[in-house]
Amino acid sequence: MPKRATQQLGLFAAPRPLPEGFAYRPDLISPDEERDLVAWFAGLPFREFEFGPYRGKRRIVSFGWKYDFTERELQKSEEIPQALLPLRQEAAAFAGLAADDLPHALVTEYTPGATIGWHRDKRVFGDVIGISLLSSCTFRFRRQAGGGWERASFVAEPRSAYLLRGPARDQWEHSIPAVDALRYSVTFRSFAADRE
């Protein structure tokens, strides 16, 4: 691994408090539920993530709504399929929401080496609930503090869920470094109260 990459990973090695508004729950779903979902994913029309002229290594499919990064707007998409409704119910219960409060679902496939760079989800969205499947990943946080950065990280284990709300959602950026093994995630989002 290049020296710079080793130094960057070292910044996240020491345990630090996780951001306010973040919550984590291991084993949101059972191994059988995970197996059934992963089998169902095989039939989805995944496409490369597009960010303007750029293409990401990860592949995605959106349901309910999708954010078009070229047009910079939210667009209606195919309804959330029946196969994801029980998972949406579990995610909503974990976050203290009604299932209908989560009108957007994103299924993401990460092959080995796939990453997500530093970002905050678009402001049109409110709460973000992610469910990890098949393999774990390191989930990193950072926010500017003076002339530097505050940083924190945790390991998202298979079948676990995380919630980004409040400062964890609005003040901190997050990223995922290159994954070692095939991983899927399902992300559910509510709409921001003040969305246009």
Residue 149's pLDDT is 94
Percentage of the chain modeled with pLDDT above 70? 84
Phi, psi (degrees; rounded to nearest 5) at 136 = -85, 165
- Looking at the DSSP assignment, which residues form a beta bridge with residue 63? 105
Domain boundaries, the chain: 23-191
Residue 122's pLDDT is 86
Is 84 in a helix, a strand, or coil? helix
List of E strands, the chain? 22-25, 47-51, 54-63, 65-68, 73-76, 104-110, 116-119, 125-133, 137-145, 148-156, 161-164, 173-176, 183-191
Q: Which of residues 150 and 66 earns the better pLDDT score?
A: 150
Q: Which of residues 195 and 31 earns the better pLDDT score?
A: 31
Model confidence, pTM: 0.87
**Residue 14: pLDDT above 50?**
no
Taking each helix axis from N to C end, the angle separating 85-95 and 31-41, rounded to the nearest 10 degrees, works out to 130
- Computed over every residue of the chain, the mean pLDDT equals 88
Measured CA to CA, the distance from residue 107 to residue 41 in angstroms comes to 8
Residue 57's pLDDT is 80
**Residue 141: pLDDT above 90?**
yes
Residue 32's pLDDT is 98
Residue 77's pLDDT is 87
Residue 54's pLDDT is 63
**Fold classification of 23-191 (topology level):** Jelly Rolls (2.60.120)
For residue range 61-111, list pLDDT tens digits in order.
999 987 666 666 677 889 999 999 999 999 999 999 999 999 999 999 999
For residue range 26-39, list pLDDT tens digits in order.
999 999 999 999 99
For residue range 109-131, list pLDDT tens digits in order.
999 999 999 999 888 899 999 99
**Residue 15: pLDDT above 80?**
no
